[in-house]
Amino acid sequence: IKAIESPNKDDDTQWLTYWVVYGVFSIVEFFSDIFLSWFPFYYMLKCGFLLWCMAPSPSNGAEFLYHRVIRPFFLKHEAQLDNVVKDLKDKA
């Protein structure tokens, strides 16, 4: 997220955005997979969702989700997240 929000924008922004969205999706799915796997066509819907996030269009799913959900949450809690990362780094 820090690389995406940096002032130096390169062509990698689209893929960085995709991987941030994919990472958040993977964390959410890890905890909810036991419930979601019971839904019919769950894996087909998951595949469609990931394809939508990868779509090479200006309005792909990763851009949409990043700017509507992840970025506002991150900007609101940026200082707290930086403190957690710093504490983990100090402990390591």
Taking all residues of the chain, what is their mean pLDDT, rounded to a whole number? 87
pTM value surpassing 0.85: no
| Whole-number Å distance between alpha carbons of 32 and 25 | 10
Mean pLDDT confidence for 26-54: 90
| Whole-number Å distance between alpha carbons of 47 and 16 | 19
Question: What confidence tens digit (pLDDT) does each residue in 50-87 have?
Answer: 999 988 887 789 989 999 999 999 999 999 989 999 99
- The answer to whether residues 53 and 18 touch, using CB atoms and an 8 Å cutoff, is yes
